[in-house]
Amino acid sequence: SSSPKISRTTSRTFPPIASIMKFTLALSAILATQAAAFAPSFASPRSTALDARKPFISGNWKLNPQTREEAIVLGKAISESIGPDTPDADVALFVPYVFIEATHTAVGEKLMVGAEGVCPEIKGAFTGAVSATMLKSIGVQWALAGHSERRTLFGETDAYINGQCIKLIEDGMSVMLCIGESLDEYEKDLAGSVCAVQLKKGLAGIKKEDLDRVAIAYEPVWAIGTGKVATPEVAQKVHEQCRAIIADMYDQEAADAMRILYGGSVTPDSVDQLMAQPDIDGALVGGASLDAAKFSRIINFQPM
């Protein structure tokens, strides 16, 4: 068989310079568009659709302060720190029953004043108890349930805590359900399991449509009042697990909407890094909420 003939040309005709420039510019534009489409994004983790969750900064005064006047002075000082430059967040103080009305008057409309607990019963022979109805009658909208000190010192069970949550929801109020593991449980890598049990038992019987009146506070027991703080990365990991548990209980929409706060020796020095985590939506602050200057700095956290 004959080999194929190769045609050779001794002269070539080149297109005009103007045509080459137009082609080069067009090609550059196409390549730039494609590069932009595949370029990595360096946006903040919080600049996502999930950023719709409004931050929630709250203080738990526990068995403090000792007088009504001290409560008024402290509440007023905290409220005065909320100004035009304060991040757009819900702010609440959970205070002893006897100081609720005085503190509410002192802070005005700048923040909410809630109760540190509630009895799941409505009325009857329950000496020393305070019902959701009683709290609602004096303007309270939020109450804590399941705080570790109530669980360990006062023996409140998951069933009792669930009763608190349900009663508050039934009365048109809102609840902050506290969950968290002990140091022993944390060291055995049981944080996720403990939180799963407390979430599932605490929220039992609460419908998805009522979850907009629920917030979760993850408080590692080993970090409460000890000065120890879970690193932002550790706290983020557990918050992420909690959100996955809620998705499993309800659905992803409910999980994405749920505000999950961190509680455990939050300080002015730790709040900014904690609030920079994508699944940490606020803080439940203990000791630092009794110091107006410290709590004011936490309220005025600096988004990173």
Give catalytic status of residue 239 as yes or no.
Answer: no
8 Å CB contact between 260 and 239: yes
Please list the alpha-helical segments (H only) found in 64-145: 68-79, 100-107, 132-137
Query: Would you state the torsion angle of the CA atoms of residues 63, 153, 219, 258, taken in this order, to the nearest 10 degrees?
Result: -90
Q: Which of 104, 116, 147, 239 is the catalytic position?
A: 147
Residue 29 CB: number of other CB atoms within 10 A?
10
Q: Round to whole Å and give the CA distance between 41 and 36.
A: 10
Q: Round to whole Å and give the CA distance between 41 and 283.
A: 28
Q: Which of 116, 149, 156, 219 is the catalytic position?
A: 219
Residue 280 CB: number of other CB atoms within 10 A?
24
Give catalytic status of residue 219 as yes or no.
Answer: yes
**First and final CA of the chain: distance in angstroms?**
76
Residue 89 CB: number of other CB atoms within 10 A?
19
Please list the alpha-helical segments (H only) found in the chain: 17-38, 68-79, 100-107, 132-137, 148-152, 158-170, 183-187, 191-202, 232-249, 252-257, 271-275, 292-299
Q: Round to whole Å and give the CA distance between 205 and 133.
A: 20
Tokens of 133: 């109805």
Q: What's the burial of 203, exposed, middle or buried (CB within 10 Å: 0-12/13-18/19+)? A: buried
8 Å CB contact between 285 and 263: yes
**Residues known to be catalytic:** 147, 219
